[in-house]
Amino acid sequence: MGEGVVLISGATGLVGRRLVPRLAERYALVRTLSRSGGVVRDRIEPASWDGVDPGAAALGGVDAVVHLAGEPVFGGLPTQARLARIRESRIASTRRIVERMAALDPAARPKTFVCASAVGYYGDRGEERLDEQSAPGEGFLAEVCREWEREARGAESLGVRVVSLRIGVVLAREGGALALMRIPFSLGLGGRLGDGRQFFPWIHVEDLVAATLFAIENAALSGAVNAVAPQAVRNLELTETLARVLRRPAKLPAPAFALRAALGRVAGELLGSRQVVPAKLVEAGFDFVHPTLEGALREACA
Ligand SMILES: NC(=O)c1ccc[n+]([C@@H]2O[C@H](COP(=O)([O-])OP(=O)(O)OC[C@H]3O[C@@H](n4cnc5c(N)ncnc54)[C@H](OP(=O)(O)O)[C@@H]3O)[C@@H](O)[C@H]2O)c1
């Protein structure tokens, strides 16, 4: 066990639930921010918040902050109210966390701020290869990510090292996108989305957890960091690989117009193409446990 205190929001989420025990193995104390409190466990101290303002006490004595909380993007129909929640739960909370850091004595500020972002930053980019230097894209989620990262960067002027993880679709046994993707296959209705040529940026949850720990501990890493696996796949390859792993047919394509009708402004997240490469993680020497899609799906679907 190491020294130090880590504050984490979104601790009850898909990624947070895997990350918290790993943090507790490495740090003296992990303070978890949740809207519903939580249970005290060995080296884990729950703290309540309203989803926006962590309060002054939560930041006390903290060495690193990991901010993962946010209204789920695919958690229901994209009504105006939900789109506003997707945006505000990320941007307003990040701004407030940075304000709370600014209010601390400089010597008492956290050294590191790791804030989630998403590959949605890049919009829909066809065949372009996207590393961290690539320009942002257009669309609702691209704008949310751009503002989210801008708020996080506000901590840099306070002497805090900031890493914005541009996270790809997280593949995990316990839920998230993979649970949704498995439903049509289990009904024998699996198939590519649209024309299937769009690149699908993904990462196995264990690699995302390891990349987050790497970001906290690797002082050379800062700014935007693509958190995706090194193997870029197209939707068609994703569909065929998932069908093979699940031993199910992949015959019925889901037409783009039907997806747009069902998902509205977030359809671009599934239909858009993003060939994202983890340039900074690779350059920094990060080792992926699940670098190939087939291996990642075999673990997550076992
Ligand atoms: N999973 C993916 O495929 C993926 C891909 C790209 C980016 N990301 C980003 O990575 C982060 C973590 O992802 P995740 O999949 O672990 O998220 P998640 O499972 O959806 O959960 C995140 C946590 O956010 C909190 N939350 C939910 N709605 C909220 C709201 N309206 N206001 C404030 N807090 C709210 C909840 O915690 P409490 O109920 O305990 O408060 C929840 O446990 C998110 O910011 C997400 O946008 C995820």
Q: Which residue has the higher pLDDT, 180 or 82?
A: 82
Q: How much distance in Å is there from the Cα of 252 to the middle of ligand 1? A: 31
H helix intervals, 57-139: 80-102
Compute, in angstroms, the gap from residue 69 CA to the centroid of ligand 1.
4
Q: Is the pLDDT of residue 266 over 70?
A: no
Read off the pLDDT of residues 107-116 as tens digits, 9 standing for 90 and up: 999 999 999 9
What does the pLDDT read at residue 181?
80
**Weakest-pLDDT range from 25-34, 58-67, 203-212, 270-279:** 270-279
Cα(171)–Cα(154) distance, integer angstroms: 30
How many angstroms separate the Cα of 96 from the Cα of each of 14, 30, 111?
Answer: 23, 20, 17
Across 158-171, average pLDDT:
97
Q: Give the separation between CA 65 and CA 164, rounded to whole angstroms.
A: 12
Tokens of 87: 């945006």
- Residue 89's pLDDT band, with cuts at 50, 70 and 90, is very high
User: Average pLDDT in the 67-94 region?
Assistant: 91
Count other Cβ atoms within 10 Å, centred on residue 283: 12
Residue 143, CA distances (Å) to 21, 147, 186, 269 in order:
32, 6, 35, 13
Lowest mean pLDDT among 92-106, 228-242, 268-282: 268-282
Q: How far is it, in rounded angstroms, from Cα 108 to Cα 93? A: 20
Residue nearest to atom 30 of ligand 1 (CA): 71
What is the mean pLDDT of the segment spanning 140-159? 97
Q: How far apart are CA 252 and CA 184, in angstroms?
A: 10
Would you say the CB of residue 165 lies under 6 angstroms from ligand 1?
A: no
In the chain, the percentage of residues whose pLDDT exceeds 90 is 75
Kindly state the tokens that stand for 138. 């257009």
Tell which atom from ligand 1 comes closest to the C-alpha of 85. 31
Show the domains of the chain with their CATH numbers: 5-169+201-228 (3.40.50.720)
pLDDT at 270: 63
Residue 238's nearest CA partner among 289, 183, 196, 301 is 196
How far does the centroid of ligand 1 lie from the alpha carbon of residue 47, in Å?
17
Residues 116-149 pLDDT 10s: 999 999 999 999 999 999 999 999 999 999 999 9
Pocket test for ligand 1, best of 88, 170, 174 (most atoms within 8 A of CB): 170
Task: Tell how far the Cα of 181 is from the centroid of ligand 1, in angstroms.
Answer: 18
Choose among 184, 103, 90: nearest CA to 143: 90
Q: How confident is the model at residue 185 (pLDDT cuts 50, 70, 90)?
A: confident
Residue with the larger pLDDT of the pair 192 and 254: 192
pLDDT of residue 188: 73
For 205, the enclosing helix (H) or strand (E) is: helix 205-217
pLDDT-derived band at 5, boundaries 50, 70, 90 = very high
3-class SS string, 163-200: EEEEECEEEECCECHHHHHHHHHHCCCCCCECCCCCEE
More confident residue, 271 or 199: 199
What pLDDT sits at residue 4? 95
Q: What percent of the chain has pLDDT over 70?
A: 93
Residue 254 DSSP code: B
Alpha carbon nearest to ligand 1 atom 33, residue:
51
Q: What is the distance between the alpha carbons of residues 33 and 4, in angstroms, rounded to a whole number?
A: 17
Q: Residue 265: pLDDT above 60?
A: no
pLDDT band per the 50, 70, 90 thresholds, residue 21: very high
Cβ pair 167, 227 in contact under 8 A: yes
Consecutive H or E run containing 4: none
Convert the pLDDT of each residue in 227-261 to its tens digit.
999 998 998 899 899 889 988 877 767 666 665 66
Q: Region 67-72: what's the mean pLDDT?
A: 96
